[in-house]
Chains A and B, each alone.
Chain A
């Protein structure tokens, strides 16, 4: 008479374990997506903060110099890119780079707009190396109106 060996029970445990692993795999896939998205949002937020600060500095210097691009470039540590524009370059940590540095990650550009009576207008744009606009702000330097009166 053959004695049939009873099951050790590990088969049932294995089944239960596999079910648990399956549920964990689904949950962890969702969590990993959330982690990656959160990391991405945090990096974007940091990038935007720095871009806003850089644009604000450009605008303040532009206003303080009365719309003079050479003086603004000197204050910001930037360079002329044409007769009506300057750009300031930053590395990946948003530290200022020397003018014309080829290995930059971000750039803040001040482009002077066509002349208008009473004010000198410009557009400050902060982009990354791929040219993707991160932040932009218009700035105006109003001329001394006493001279007009």
Chain B
């Protein structure tokens, strides 16, 4: 009688153990899948920001690649790239800079001094910082720092042959 009771208990315990092992396996596979998806998403997002930021600036430079139309400087202390244009006899600047964790673009009349604030400029992309440098008279160096510490560098050769002033 006792033996029958013990074997009955063992049966139940064994079944429960198998069920627990099954549940643990399910959880493990789910966690593995979630981790893989999470890391893929994170990598994809970081690469997107870096690639898009540098590609956007490169596209802007190529669109304004004329002699003397590009200037590297500062805008309210922040490293900035000035792209000159003229419409109806009036000079305008497109200023690309980073402020408050965002890559921003400001289109304004040449010489108009606007106070740097979170309202000035159109936010383009969330980044850490961006800096510009004249590596050569016809070569611009753009360095990007992401908000999560990743960085990237891009060199842009000016087809106009020069004219990157300060």
Contact = CB atoms under 8 A, between A and B. Distances in A.
A67 to B, nearest CB: 12
A65 B138 CA distance: 9
A64 B136 contact: yes
A142 to B, nearest CB: 11
A28 B24 CA distance: 13
A38 B26 contact: no
Interface residues of B, number: 35
B157 interface: yes
Interface in B112-154: 135-136, 138-139, 151-154
A42 B45 CA distance: 12
B136 A38 contact: no
A56 B154 contact: yes
B22 A10 contact: no
A65 B158 CA distance: 11
Contacts of A63: 157
Interface in A1-48: 5, 8, 10-11, 13-14, 17-18, 20-21, 24, 28, 31-32, 35, 38-39, 42, 45-46
Determine the main DSSP class of A at the interface with B: helix
A57 B154 contact: yes
A17 B15 contact: yes
Contacts of B47: 45-46, 49
A134 to B, nearest CB: 15
B113 to A, nearest CB: 33
Interface of B: 4, 8, 11-12, 14-15, 18-19, 22, 25-26, 29, 32-33, 36-37, 39-40, 43-44, 47, 51, 54, 135-136, 138-139, 151-158
Given A14-B14, A17-B22, A42-B44, 4 more contacts: A8-B8, A45-B47, A49-B51, A75-B135
Interface of A: 5, 8, 10-11, 13-14, 17-18, 20-21, 24, 28, 31-32, 35, 38-39, 42, 45-46, 49, 53, 56-57, 60-61, 63-65, 75, 95
Closest A-B pairs by Cβ, 5 of them? A64-B139, A64-B157, A60-B155, A60-B157, A42-B40
24 contacts: A8-B11, A8-B12, A10-B11, A14-B11, A17-B15, A21-B22, A21-B25, A24-B22, A28-B25, A28-B29, A32-B29, A35-B32, A35-B36, A38-B37, A42-B40, A42-B44, A57-B155, A60-B155, A63-B157, A64-B157, A65-B136, A75-B139, A75-B155, A95-B151
